[in-house]
Amino acid sequence: MTSRPLPYIEKALSHSEAIQLVLRSQLVDHDILTYLNTKLRATDLPEESKAAIKRELGSKAQGLFLYARLMLDEILASGKSDFQSICDFLEKLPSGLGDMYNRMLNEHSSRSKTPQDLQLLILQCVTHSSRPLRLLELSNVADFVRKTSHHRVFSPPLGLSMDTKSIIRNGCGPLLEILEDETVSIIHHSFTEYLINPERNVSSPNGHHFPHVDLSETHLAIAKLCVDYLLSDWLPGWDNNDDAEDKLSSARMTHPFLDYALNNWHYHVSIYGKFDQELFQLVDRLMEPNSKALSSCRRLMKLDIGKTDVHVRSKQISPLHICAMKGLAEYALHAVEIGQDLNSLDPESRTPLHRAAETGNHGVVEVLLRSGAANNIDDVAGLTPLHLAASANHGAVVKSLLEAGVDPFTPKTREYPGRWCGNSKSTQGETAVEYGKPRFSSLISFRLILETA
């Protein structure tokens, strides 16, 4: 049995007529005892020691199979065999899952000589990354942090002799599992609940408390890690000419965390959603105009668009465009305050407001409008931000644009660029009302347009 949503189990039960499975305590206790009997039968422990283990674990497990399994593993790994030593060990067993997790983390930190800060970073990444991280990616993170003296996760830098894969495997002991696809997973949802519970340190009788994994601070730590990684030693060897993308697979091999950092740094910055001086200084370095970091990341994040049009080749996606597309409202405000151009044009002659309206990032739209961005400018296809927001049914964005004074009957100023079939219906002159009406499933934005009109 498992509490994890494994695909092959879900598939097997998808057409089952069983609606609910009830695990009664007396049945679970019997199964725990069967498990203990089976495991202990394979050992050379004296019978009286086996009996003491079964009695004590059966009592303290309280129907929790995970507790019985992990504590039995701890007993067997301790190497104790005589009756008195076993009894002494059993007396010190933790009283519940929370106490057990706290004790195991402390013990494995001591055994593997893994600093608690590193344990915390590993668990933050495993529990709050946007996708499951592979063992190789996590070991690359540990290696990067160990070698980066200016990184704030560890102070002073680590001086570990063990290879980083072993550190990830041993640092938290059996509380982390390496799955078949090499992704790293928490052993049980109750461990995640223990980590994120802000009250557990108050009630724990143990004096050595493992730090609480705070949601906001965790996303801040991972955001700093990702941006710092993107500013690190992969850049000097990166060739930024036309065949650069052919070298991406090689860069991913030598820098396993690169793919995650590239595609998720903005996710963690957005989730954090507040000003942090150190984080914003890192992002400033990443977003520095004409820098190798910005041009390389822009290309690898697939943000270069419209490059084949001769009249827009000189235009590039600016830091504010990236904020608009990725929903970085707080950093967008910071970018405006340090002088970023509100109305810069990308290769499709779209402003940051166009991109924020198109993607529905309402927070960024509000920042740009309050800062004085042009609210009714057209792009290379004659479309205004309101056209794009209405077409995509972003009701909140439509409302903000209308409240800012945008005319819902502003016409589309030109046709789409490129070859044009003479029999095709012209779109020039179409308004945001016409863009909204046929496309809406919920008609939210269209109703807002009509009410304002």
Q: 210-235 pLDDT, tens per residue? A: 888 999 999 999 999 999 998 886 65
Query: Residue 309: its pLDDT value, please?
Result: 42
With 60 as the cut, is the pLDDT of residue 450 above it? no
Question: ∠ CA 143-191-140 to the nearest 5 degrees?
Answer: 10
Query: Residue 202: its pLDDT value, please?
Result: 44
With 50 as the cut, is the pLDDT of residue 156 above it? no
**Band of residue 362 on the pLDDT scale cut at 50, 70, 90:** very high
**pLDDT (average), residues 42-69:** 86
Of the ranges 17-21, 267-271, 342-346, which one carries the lowest mean pLDDT score?
Answer: 17-21
Query: Residue 418: its pLDDT value, please?
Result: 61
Query: Residue 198: its pLDDT value, please?
Result: 85
**Band of residue 436 on the pLDDT scale cut at 50, 70, 90:** low
Report the share of the chain in percent with pLDDT over 90: 34
Query: Residue 18: its pLDDT value, please?
Result: 59
Average pLDDT over the chain reads: 81
**Band of residue 12 on the pLDDT scale cut at 50, 70, 90:** confident
Task: Give the model confidence (pLDDT) of 288-302 as tens digits.
Answer: 877 777 777 777 766
**pLDDT (average), residues 346-352:** 92
Residue ranges covered by each domain of the chain: 7-93, 98-213
**pLDDT (average), residues 407-415:** 86
